[in-house]
Each structure stands twice: as structure tokens, then as C-alpha cells.
Amino acid sequence: MRLLEFLERKQGSSLPSGPAEIALGTLHTTMPISLPIDPDPSGWITVQDPERLIKTFLFDTSIHLAYFVSELMLYQEEVKHHAKIIIDFRDVTVETYTHDIDSVTRQDISLTEFCDELYGDISFLDYSRNHGNSQR
């Protein structure tokens, strides 16, 4: 399911429908923006015994959180590599390492990159929906 379809179904609002509207409607400013979702300022941290990567993602809405977790679960099934996911209200903590060797591998790095990209997409789309049309 596309993010736009997911958000539209959950919020019942009308979103840009065509790829050109979505892309062109968001390319209107180079000003720094305050996004509705704040990343943990520490980013991914490395913890020992066993070596693993951990990051907490903070969400303003449960809709954004649900989409993030849903897409992360689908990704994990696709690549056959699973992280520990902890949900605490609107915070999602992701912890990943390769259990066979008790260390971080390329699979874990790929999973962290996917999480960051997905989180960025959610942040960007939400900002664009709320501010895109007024600044063209």
C-alpha cells in the first residue's frame, strides 16, 4: 500500500493523486523547516554485549507510527532479517544485530538505512501535505 493511500484511508482527507502533483507540489522552498516528527538527536547508537544498533523514532500521530511499523515489518519479511521493535506510546525503538555472530553486519546497516529513509518519507510527506499548497 502506498503511503498516500494509507494516510488518506486513515484520515479521510484528499491528497495529491498524481506523481507530478506530488513531486512538483513539494519542490517549492529551500528554507529550513520544522518537521512534525522529531528524530532522536543521538541517531543510531552502538551498544555492546552483543554489538547492536539502536535508535528511537518519535511520532506525533499514531497513524504515522502504524505506517512506519507496518512498512518495517514488511521489509523485514522481504529480506529475512528481523529487528527488535519496541513501541512505547508514540515512540518506536528499533534494535538490530545479527544473532548468529552477535554483531552488526551489512544486513543490519541496510535495515537502519531503510528505517531512516522510511522515517524521512513520512516526515516529508506530512510536512508537504500541511504546507505545500500555501507556499507555491
Q: And the C-alpha cell for 75? A: 521489509
User: Is there a cis peptide before residue 32, judged by omega within 30 degrees of 0?
Assistant: no
Q: Residue 125: what pLDDT?
A: 77
Q: Residue 7: what pLDDT?
A: 60
Domains, in order of start, for the chain:
3-10+37-135 (3.30.1360.20)
Which class for 27: exposed (0-12), middle (13-18), buried (19 or more C-beta within 10 A)?
exposed
Q: What is the pTM of this model?
A: 0.65
Which pLDDT band, with edges at 50, 70 and 90, does 5 fall under? low
88-125: per-residue pLDDT in tens?
A: 999 999 999 999 999 999 999 999 999 999 999 998 87
Taking all residues of the chain, what is their mean pLDDT, rounded to a whole number?
A: 79
